[in-house]
């Protein structure tokens, strides 16, 4: 345990088991299940392969959750993976995790979710006369970030209540969407073709790996409860229950929702929706087919609520990593301050939200501004990146960065279970990983495959993510030099 964690500067235990469960479920269900299935069908154009993707992605995440449950119950401290990585590999590796969380993973997730929120909000409330769609969506995205920031600063209890209520609404909405084809007698099982590809070769495997990036984005967030362990009552019991129960709920919902899409819409139609605006995304097309024009408004409302609650979950959990870093003395001390009235890590929350706003604004500006021409004098590699940033929507751009960075560090966090069982065998472990050592090993092997495929398929985004993470090394060394000696 670090010296900083032995003092009285700890966050209060104000969250119960239902909140912990809703942090997992509500934090995961965002915009992914409404937008990603078109990408999955495009990479894997057969129903059996699509089902395999969602099941494997769910089991992959579940393997991580089962392992993380042991770590969260054993080390129930603010920061979650930051703490596990620190205890297993040292302070630099832990700092780089927190740095990646702030610079890429968590702030990128918030930027992506706020962009999705704004896209669907603009389907209901059109931009005022004279305001471009891009700037209108930017304003709504920033407003959503501001709203969840305010909620989380005013109190962890309030943020938890918003998470519980919002999760109930979004799960209920998903169940209604799943039941609609049955209630309206619109189930057409003939659309479940082709069931399998003509041959199981390298192309099939590559398609599944490529689809996994989007699927893991849809599942991303299951880890979110562990950074809150310090604030959860009876974490030895409630953290494992939230992780395991949450993954069971999520895999069930995602798989049934996917089949619901495919018994209403032809496979080729779903594939054609890749890259389409929100009004033509797979969930919107599904609701329009079943409910007519009002279906677009209905699904826009559902996705708005869903992404807002996911935003709240990220604002609730992410700042605990930076708070823990500052408490360890490897980040500015102000970030570790607890608000005297609200008892929340207010400065850490503001830091994360501020950077997420910067990412959102930059992403929008790069789309709005004219594309850089080959004669501009900008070096080729840099111009290539800027052109891609100009052409690719913020949602599509950020989620690759998010998944690449998250997979890399989640793999390290999961691997810490092996290290800590050897180096710290006497630590109290209220829960032991089911299927150990195979469960964490499967997660690590799958992570290597996914990272390798992402590097191959998305080299620019992957290299950019690695470069941003590497920037954390000199920053860490600067903080280490300025850190006061502990006597």
Reading the block at residue 154, the tokens are 């005013």
Burial class from Cβ neighbours inside 10 Å (0-12, 13-18, 19+) for residue 438 reads exposed
The residue among 481, 360, 436, 479 whose CA lies nearest residue 96 is: 479
If DSSP codes are grouped into helix, strand and coil, which group holds residue 426?
coil
Distance CA 353, CA 60 (A): 29
Phi, psi of 306 (to 5 degrees): -60, -45
Taking the model in full, what pTM does it have? 0.86
The torsion of the CA quartet 68, 246, 140, 368, rounded to 10 degrees, works out to 60
User: What's the pLDDT at 487?
Assistant: 39
Please check whether residue 336 is in contact with residue 327, taking contact to mean a CB–CB distance below 8 angstroms: yes
Report the chain's C-alpha Rg in angstroms. Answer: 22
Q: With CA atoms as reference, report the closest residue to 258 among 51, 39, 44.
A: 51
Q: Which residues contact 212 (CB under 8 A, 6 or more apart)?
A: 53, 56, 57, 60, 450, 453
User: What is the predicted pLDDT for the residue at 17?
Assistant: 95
Q: How far apart are CA 206 and CA 482, in angstroms?
A: 47
Each of the 487 residues of the chain gets a pLDDT tens digit; together they read 444 454 457 899 999 999 999 999 998 998 789 889 999 999 999 999 999 999 999 999 999 999 999 999 999 999 999 999 999 999 999 999 999 889 878 887 888 788 888 888 888 899 998 888 888 989 999 999 999 999 999 999 999 999 999 999 999 999 999 999 999 999 999 999 999 988 888 888 888 888 887 898 789 888 889 999 999 999 999 999 999 999 999 999 999 999 999 999 999 999 998 877 666 789 989 999 999 988 888 888 888 898 899 899 999 999 999 999 999 989 999 999 999 999 999 999 999 999 999 988 877 776 555 666 666 666 766 666 566 655 665 555 555 666 777 788 989 999 999 999 999 999 999 999 999 999 999 999 888 887 887 787 777 767 777 888 888 999 998 888 776 654 3
Phi, psi of 232 (to 5 degrees): -95, 130
In the prediction, which pLDDT does 389 show? 57
Half-sphere exposure of 203 (CA within 13 A, CB side): 8
**Which two tokens mark 111?**
């930027």
Query: For position 486, what pLDDT does the model report?
Result: 44
Identify the CA nearest to 18 among candidates 271, 173, 258, 234. 234
In the CATH hierarchy, which fold is given to the domain comprising 14-482?
Answer: Amino acid/polyamine transporter I (1.20.1740)
């Amino acid at each position: 345990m670090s010296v900083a964690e032995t003092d009285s500067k700890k966050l209060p235990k104000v969250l119960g088991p239902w909140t912990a469960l809703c942090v997992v479920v509500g934090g995961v269900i965002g915009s992914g299940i409404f937008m990603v299935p078109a990408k999955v069908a495009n990479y894997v154009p057969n129903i059996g392969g699509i089902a395999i993707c969602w099941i494997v992605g769910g089991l992959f995440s579940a393997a991580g959750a089962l392992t993380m449950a042991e770590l969260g119950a054993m080390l129930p401290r603010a920061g979650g993976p930051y703490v596990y990585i620190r205890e297993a590999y040292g302070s630099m590796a832990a700092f780089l995790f927190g740095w990646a969380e702030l610079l890429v993973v968590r702030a990128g997730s918030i930027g992506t979710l706020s962009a999705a929120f704004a896209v669907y909000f603009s389907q209901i409330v059109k931009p005022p006369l004279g305001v471009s769609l891009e700037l209108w969506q930017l304003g709504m995205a920033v407003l959503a970030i501001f709203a969840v920031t305010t909620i989380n600063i005013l109190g962890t209890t309030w943020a938890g209540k918003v998470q519980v209520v919002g999760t109930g609404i979004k799960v209920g909405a998903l169940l209604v969407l799943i039941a609609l084809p049955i209630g309206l007698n619109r189930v057409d099982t003939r659309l479940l073709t082709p069931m399998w590809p003509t041959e199981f070769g390298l192309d099939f495997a590559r398609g599944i790996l490529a689809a996994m990036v989007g699927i893991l984005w849809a599942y991303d967030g299951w880890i979110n409860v562990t950074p809150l362990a310090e604030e959860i009552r009876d974490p030895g019991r409630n953290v494992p229950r939230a992780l395991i129960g949450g993954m069971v709920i999520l895999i069930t919902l995602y798989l049934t929702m996917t089949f619901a899409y495919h018994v209403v819409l032809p496979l080729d139609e779903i594939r054609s929706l890749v890259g389409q605006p929100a009004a033509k995304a797979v969930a919107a097309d599904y609701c329009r087919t079943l409910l007519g024009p009002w279906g677009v408004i209905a699904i826009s409302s559902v996705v708005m609520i869903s992404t807002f609650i996911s935003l709240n979950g990220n604002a609730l959990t992410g700042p605990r990593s930076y708070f823990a870093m500052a408490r360890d003395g490897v980040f500015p001390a102000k970030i570790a301050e607890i608000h005297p009235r609200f008892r929340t890590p207010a400065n850490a929350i503001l830091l994360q939200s501020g950077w997420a706003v910067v990412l959102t604004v930059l992403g929008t500006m790069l789309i709005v501004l004219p594309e850089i021409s080959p004669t501009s004098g900008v070096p080729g590699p840099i111009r290539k990146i800027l052109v891609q940033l100009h052409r690719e929507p913020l949602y599509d751009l950020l989620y690759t960065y998010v998944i690449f960075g998250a997979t890399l560090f989640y793999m390290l966090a999961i691997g810490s279970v092996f290290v800590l069982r050897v180096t710290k065998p006497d630590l109290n472990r209220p829960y032991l990983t089911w299927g150990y050592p195979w469960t964490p090993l499967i997660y690590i092997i799958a992570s290597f495959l996914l990272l390798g495929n992402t590097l191959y398929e998305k080299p620019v985004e992957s290299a950019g993510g690695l470069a941003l993470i590497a920037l954390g090394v000199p920053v860490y060394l600067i903080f280490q030099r300025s850190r006061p000696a502990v006597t």
